[in-house]
Amino acid sequence: MMISLKMTGSVGDKGKNSSVDIYLIKALLNVYARGACKKPLQMNNTFDADSLSLLNDFQKNVVRMGIPDGLVSSNQRTFKVLVSNLKNSFRLSSITSPTRGGLTWDSEGKEGGLFHSRILHVPSSKSGLTLGRGYDMKGKSSTRVQTELVKAGLSLFYAQKLSKGARLSGTNAERFIVENDLLDFQITAPVQLALFNIAYSYEESEVKRICNKGDTVKKYGTVDFNLIPKSVLELFVDLKYRGDYSPQTRSFLQEPLSKGDISNIKMLMNDRSKWAQVPVERFNMRSKFASLIPLGVTP
């Protein structure tokens, strides 16, 4: 899972029942309820009789406790089975890769497993509410999020609901997922692909915009993407996608880009000291991708 599923105490008839823990356990119990065709709990910070009844039902039928104790504690069996039930609720789908942006697509998630991307997730403490292969809502208005989600094929109901998570990040984004009962929400593969194409097109346009800015051209020179391999643009879009195409990195990348100096770009992308803040897996994927860029000035 790509959000933190941790309790601070215990929840139940004799639990400490902090508000944060109650929301989490009710959200996890609702995953079970929907899978078992039972009535989901109302999402609030009260652990009431209905909550206790559903917990006892889960302990009896899934945890297989002879006598349910009506209590969930951090790292104890009931909590672990609730988390496992959530992971098992996701069904894998056949995935069609995009026609461009394969580096970013492969880096931004997987189908199934720890980095299953068709669910809501928050990749890091600096990330916002993220859906699919890197559609991060942190820097977007709620209106833009709703419009783009609908354009990608999501229903208006869910587009409106998810758009309320725009601008959030880190812990606040994670709490939005839990408190809005969205732990098991999952988009279809076609919606994920359409959403990626929307996000990728925007980031590609941003790279070109930055390259064409007057101050950038004055300092580093003009970039003509028609005269360099298309994979160079794909590499720079991936940098922009993760926030790694910044004034600091442009200080050593932009001039080789403007000169079409592919050999230098390859060397820089293979220099770990230049990318200490980048996760090692992402660095390795970029380095390998850069090594395969053809030399020369023809696309």
Beta-bridge mates of residue 183: none
What beta strand segments (E) does 107-192 contain?
A: 120-121, 130-131, 135-136
pLDDT digits (tens, 9 = 90+) for 217-264: 999 999 999 999 999 999 999 999 999 999 999 999 999 999 999 999
Q: What is the pLDDT of residue 4?
A: 86
Domain ranges of the chain: 10-88, 102-191, 213-291
pLDDT digits (tens, 9 = 90+) for 73-91: 998 999 999 999 999 999 9
pLDDT digits (tens, 9 = 90+) for 124-168: 999 999 999 999 999 999 999 999 999 999 999 999 999 999 999
Q: Where are the alpha helices (DSSP H) in 59-96?
A: 77-88
Amino acid occupying residue 66? G
Q: What is the pLDDT of residue 296?
A: 64
Average pLDDT over residues 188-196: 98
**H or E segment at 204?**
helix 189-212
DSSP 8-state code for residue 115: T
Who's near 244: CB < 8 A, 6+ residues apart?
275, 277, 278
User: CA end-to-end span of the chain, whole Å?
Assistant: 39
Confidence class of residue 107 from pLDDT cuts 50, 70 and 90?
very high
